[in-house]
Each structure stands twice: as structure tokens, then as C-alpha cells.
Structure 1
């Protein structure tokens, strides 16, 4: 009879779960909420410029608003999207993080370790926008993805990592 104690092994699913990175979805959402505030300030500045131009250059009465669904209103929305993209891509390019990513120690990096290009960052921003418009489905996808990446992470070859405390 063999009285030897069998070697302890951990189940395969336990080691796979430990090796998988965290999805970071709650931190991503907190960072988005935090980034909403500086972006709203940028939108207000842009809207003030549009309103002043509409009123004084267009010779409209002071109390007249830009008509809903007009070409000028769509141009304002496009301008808001571009200004937000400039805020995000410049922040990612210069420091690897936006203001909202700093409190939760999130940093953007490429998956291969190189510096992200402008095109790659704008692709990330565009796919992230589509993800939000789809009810955040691209963000929630990180819970299912084997590498815990979102749609915009996969499309742009970038990823968010949580930096350890200094």
C-alpha cells in the first residue's frame, strides 16, 4: 500500500482565473465620470462661441436659440465630439492618462510596449464612442474577453493598466 501523500495541485480553473488580468470596468467608468467635468467645461466654451457667432455674426435676436436639428446644431455636436477627442488623445499621448484616470491610477499603453500613434489613439476614441452609443456594450465586453480588453482596446492595440501605488 502506498502511504505517500499525493502532491497538492490547484485546479486548472483556479490558476487560469489568477493569471487573467482584472477587467478594470469599474475604474474605467469612474474615470469616464471624472473626465465628464473638464469635458463639460470645454463644451460650454465651444457652445458659448457658437452662440455668440450665431447671435452677432448671424444678426439673430439675443434670445433666439440655435434651431434644433439644424445644420448649425449638428456642427456644434460634431465640434463637441472633436474637442472631447482632442482632450482624450492629447492627454493619452502626452502623459498616458486623462485627469479622470489619475485618481484610479489607470494608464494607457500599447500592448506591444511602443508609444501609441495619433491614428491609433483616434481609432481608440472613435471605437470607444461607438461602444458608449451601443449602451456601453464594448466596455462590458471586458468581463467576457479572455484578456479583459474592451472593443476599443482590441481595435487600437492599446490597453489600460492599473499602476501600483508609488
Structure 2
């Protein structure tokens, strides 16, 4: 935890954490683009087959997931904040206010990303219904924070973490 930040006991309002997530989405898009470029260069431009049906290799999808997870996990471990959390002055902490452990950050990232498994429905119900289903599930994932006094989402409950305002 950086010494110039003092975490308050105040939980972070949901609107603030969602805006931080929008900022982080920009970082994630940049990360995915760089990894995609490097993989395209490494495969001579044959990474994704766009014939009658687009085929994206499973190893590439796993690599993208690992790199994005590494961004969040390393940010939470290093200072409790992602790039998107800094301007909103919020920080991930353990339930007791301490720095999250590696295990907690792994659980937090895994549970937060769990709804992505719904993307497997694409081949069964199509892309649009799959994306709407994913959006509804993620909305529920975060809506829990509206009713919890400490404003925790599902992944916070699972990892025993919370998002707090910085003083």
C-alpha cells in the first residue's frame, strides 16, 4: 500500500467503482491489442482463420485471459489499485483493511471473470443473446453491492475483499 494513501473505513459507492472499471476497460483494450499484435507477428498473420467461420485458437484466448488477469492481480497486489481506480481514489483491501494476499486477488479475478464462461453459449444461442445474457449476469454480480452495507460485489464476498475510499 503506498504510504501517501490512507484508506478510510468508508465503502466505495457502486457508481464510483463502475466508473473506475470503465477506465480499466481502456487499459484492457490496449493490453489485448498489443498481445494480439505480437501473436499475429509471431504466427505470420495466420493467428485467426476468417474463412466461412471465424476460428480463434484456444491458446490465444487463454493467453489473452492470463495477461488481462495479470494486469488486475498485479495492480491489486502492488498498491491495491488499478490505473482506473487511482483517479477515483478507491482501493481494494482485505476485509480487515490490509493489503490483499495473492490468493485473495486470484480468487477475486477468477470470480469476477467467471461469467465469461457464458460466451460458450455463442454456438448454441448466437452472439447477441449470449452477450445480453453475459450483461445481465454481470449486472447481478455487481447489483449485490447496492444492498450490502459494505458495498461488496460477488467477487468481494468470495475473496473476502472490499473496495474502500481513500482519504
Is the partner of 1:102 in helix, strand or coil? coil
Gaps of 5+ in 1: 1-20, 56-61
Instruction: Give the counterpart of 1:148 among 147, 151, 155.
Output: 151
| 1:99-153 CA-partner distances (Å, limit 9, x unpaired) | 1001111111100233321121011011111257423311111112243211011
Q: Does 1 or 2 have the higher relative contact order (CA < 8 Å, sep 6+)? A: 2
- 1:149 and 1:135 map into 2 onto residues whose CA distance is 14
Q: Is the 8 A contact 1:131 1:137 kept in 2?
A: no
- 2:12 and 2:165 map into 1 onto residues whose CA distance is 10
Instruction: Give the counterpart of 2:19 among 21, 27, 30.
Output: 30
Q: Once superposed, what is the RMSD of the aligned Cα atoms?
A: 2.0
* Aligned structure 1 segments of 4 or more residues deviating by more than 3 angstroms: none
Q: Is the 8 A contact 1:131 1:139 kept in 2?
A: no
Q: Is the 8 A contact 2:81 2:91 kept in 1?
A: yes
- 1:105 and 1:125 map into 2 onto residues whose CA distance is 20
Give the TM-score of the pair, scaled to structure 1: 0.73
- 2:86 and 2:69 map into 1 onto residues whose CA distance is 18
- 1:45 and 1:129 map into 2 onto residues whose CA distance is 21
Give the TM-score of the pair, scaled to structure 2: 0.72
- 2:163 and 2:12 map into 1 onto residues whose CA distance is 9
When Rg is computed on C-alpha atoms for both structures, the one with the higher figure is 1
Instruction: Give the counterpart of 2:72 among 88, 95, 102.
Output: 88
Please give the residue correspondences for 1:5-84 in structure 2 after superposition, counting only pairs within 5 Å.
24-55=13-44, 66-67=48-49, 68-70=54-56, 72=57, 74-84=58-68
